[in-house]
Amino acid sequence: MAIQMRRGLRVDFDPAKMLPGEWAVAIDSDTANQIIWMCFAPGVVKQIGAYEDYERLIEEHYSEYIPDVLCTVEDGDNASRSYSTGDLFIFKGKMYAATANIASGDSLASASKKETTIEEELEGKQATLTFDTTPTENSNNPITSGGVKNALDAKQDSLTFDDSPSEGSQNPVKSGGIFTALNGKVDKITGKGLSTEDYTTEEKTKLSGIETGAQVNKVETVNSIQPDSNKNVSLNAENIPAEGIGNKTVSGNPITVTDALESTARDLQVEFGPIQDLHGYDHPWVGGAGKNLLPLTVDGLKSANTDGTWSGNAYTLNGVTFAIQTDADGNVTGILVNGTATANTNLLTPAKTYVAGAYTLNGCPQGGGDSSFMIWNAGRGLKDVGNGDATTLTTDSVWTFYVRIISGYTASNVLFKPMIRLTNETDATFEPYSNICPISGRTEVNVERTGKNLFDINSLIVGTIANNGGYAPDYATFRCTPYIFLEAGTYIITRATATSWWKGYIYDADKTPIRFSFNQQSTLSNTISLSKDLFMRFAFDYIPTESDLIQIEKGSTATAYQPYSLQSIQIPFGQTVYGGQVDFVTGKCRVTHANIASYNGETIGEPWWSSMDEYVSGTTPTIGAQVVYTLATPIELTLTPAQLSLLEGLNILATDGDNIILTYLGSEASNVQDEIDEFENGLNNVIGSIAFIENSTAKTSHAVGEYIILNGIFCKVISAVSSGETLSFGTNIQATTIGAELRAIWAQIQALSR
């Protein structure tokens, strides 16, 4: 459903994106930018005020609303006109009264004046008010009512009347004179008039060629939509404004849209942050960018082993000494063991959470065994006695490993190099554990869109899938797919012919083989259920073609075949960006993060990312670590937009960023098309010829909803009118405007999307 409340910085506010009935709140730290807006209709967005806003606005704009009838508001340093003593004016936000004459152009700062208020001036005037009893030349005083009557009575006797209208006379004219003047004029005849111009036959012919009902004023556009050469406007789902009908907004990565119209994305934004290799762990945060996932550090070993005694980097317990070897950087490179164990003796590694997946343990020297020495994790699936060991975790687990010397065994310079690696990392050469997790940015962000069919026949490669899930390339007449990512859910794979074997294999998130989903010969379809996001590969003991109509789609019921469709779009940044949000439709990118190659105590915004530390609010990273931090003020970039096309029905979108926010035209907008067509037909009667011009008696019949012009008034027919019927407001017609009709129809259309 559409967003009903927006929030963000004032600089990002775009009223054009708001929907009717939607609020938007600017959450800036600066109180002057803490504003609320409300959208009442598409394009009608109003700012909502608070008490504090009115108080501030009145104070700031007081002088703008003092009318010049009270005093002049001076904008400059010098007088814009002359002032007499007592005249009022506003200068630099304050009211002054001139205490001496001020000439135009004089400096107001040094002019003779006193600060005053409207109240003081009114009080002062009231006390000295004087009334004249007779009209007095040049007097500024009011006059009494009696004085006015006396003056009028004195003038009454001196009135002079003209006998007939006279040019330039200021006297009244006698009634008889007007009667005589009117008798000298020609009487008006209905339907005729007088003119100094002769009406010619040519002009009559020209006027006769004008079509009945023709109008000078024509509607040239509707909502910025240009008409065709015949002045017809075509409305469809594509040119309805973005805040109009059927818009839906979804987010995620990947995201699946099932109800799209075939159109372009109305809005497409991708959010992305720093890329940091935590080697599969989110929390507790553990470094380890290298292949050795066993957290061997000197400090960690000392914290985990407290039963014996430590001397430097050597730990002694039960007659056995474990000497921790390190390189120049302090990384643990080995554990050298000497001594005879008086009991089973262990050196413990720090505990760590290992995510579900396949792991291999190695690092025990040759000659180990149950009666000598080993590396193991206390019966939880791994024990290395010199040849390594492997296991698969189905759920996340906490493991602690033991370098163990069996009771009674004498160790002489036995060197252990413990290492845990992912099984798909085939190189068993020891590598010290490194508590460094480097951070990288991005030079571009990509979005891919596929339709309901996830099977790309053009991606098939030579070979097949072995029984252990591995790739077997030595099968020239077989074909298999690369890894296909599938969200948790139910899928069905179908084909048109079933003459040969086909199979599907499921892989974990790190592409470790799990099991066959199916391995069959004569089936046309198979249903696959996944409890979490996984990868799959499909293999065929033949070479598939387009005519096989192979389709992988979400759901348990097969639908009509649709060829695989892939669109890839990207926006290059032209630089490395460590975090932000990019709008593919507008090309606007807001950069929210910055990078420090080697941290040296700088003041940085939170949250931050460190190559050597887990983020904790209120703390700072380790000196020398690579750090990515949050900018106090985002940086705005203007880039080249990239348009995404959506298929009708199902679309699957994925990004190499973190999150997609997609606004698209939902299928319910198609229900509006009939309304649009009806509106278009009526509207095209308006374009070019606004309406039929009528007399008070209808010259032709009119259906309900048609438009006419009666006595210059634009009207809508509300009850069917027959030819010859009297047109009456409120009975069969009502006055309206084109704007009102357009707004009413838009309101009906938009209501369909709710």
The tens digit of pLDDT for each residue in 92-131 reads: 888 898 999 999 999 988 999 999 887 777 665 544 567 7
Average pLDDT (617-634) is 91
Q: Out of 203-212, 217-226, 343-352, pick the least confident.
A: 217-226
Spatial distance between the Cα atoms of 137 and 37, rounded to a whole number of angstroms: 59
How many residues can be counted in the chain?
754
Residue 460 and residue 479 in contact, taking contact as beta carbons nearer than 8 Å = yes
Which class is domain 453-561?
A: mainly beta
Amino acid code (one letter) for 653: L
> Residues 561-572: what's their mean pLDDT?
91
What pLDDT is attached to residue 393? 84
The region of weakest confidence among 61-70, 147-156, 436-445 is: 61-70
**pLDDT score of 378 more than 70:** yes
If phi > 0 it is left, if psi is from -120 to 50 it is alpha, else beta; for residue 57 that is: alpha
pLDDT at 199: 65
Count the neighbouring beta carbons within 10 Å of the beta carbon of residue 687.
19
- Look over the chain and give the mean of its residue pLDDT values, rounded to a whole number: 82
Strands 72-74 and 44-48, bridge-based pairing? unpaired
Residue 736's alpha-carbon distances to 690, 710, 714, 748, in angstroms, are 13, 11, 6, 17
Q: How far apart are CA 680 and CA 671, in angstroms?
A: 15
Tell me whether domains 298-422 and 453-561 share a fold. yes
- DSSP SS3 for 626: coil
Task: Look at residue 751 in the predicted model and tell me its pLDDT.
Answer: 62
CB 416 within 8 A of CB 375: yes
pLDDT for position 493: 94
Question: 257 pLDDT exceeds 50?
Answer: yes
**Beta-sheet strands, E only, within 227-349:** 247-252, 255-260, 263-264, 267-272, 275-276, 309-311, 314-317, 320-326, 332-340, 345-348
Give the pLDDT score at 689.
Answer: 47
Q: So where are the chain's domains?
A: 5-49, 248-257+568-665, 298-422, 453-561, 670-751
- pLDDT in the model for residue 166: 78
Which CATH architecture does the domain made up of 298-422 adopt?
A: Sandwich (2.60)
Q: What is the pLDDT of residue 220?
A: 53
**pLDDT (tens digit, 9 = 90+) per residue, 467-490?**
888 888 889 999 999 999 888 899
The predicted model gives 500-508 an average pLDDT of 90
Q: How far apart are CA 710 and CA 692, in angstroms?
A: 9
∠ CA 710-711-715 to the nearest 5 degrees?
A: 30
Buried/exposed 255-268: b ≥16 CB within 10 Å, e otherwise: bebebbbebebbbb
* Res 222 pLDDT > 70: no
pLDDT digits over 391-433, tens only? 988 877 888 999 999 999 999 999 999 999 988 888 889 988 8
Question: How much is the pLDDT for 606?
Answer: 93
Q: Find all residues with CB under 8 Å of 440, minimum gap 6, and list them.
A: 274, 275, 276
pTM, two decimals, is 0.45
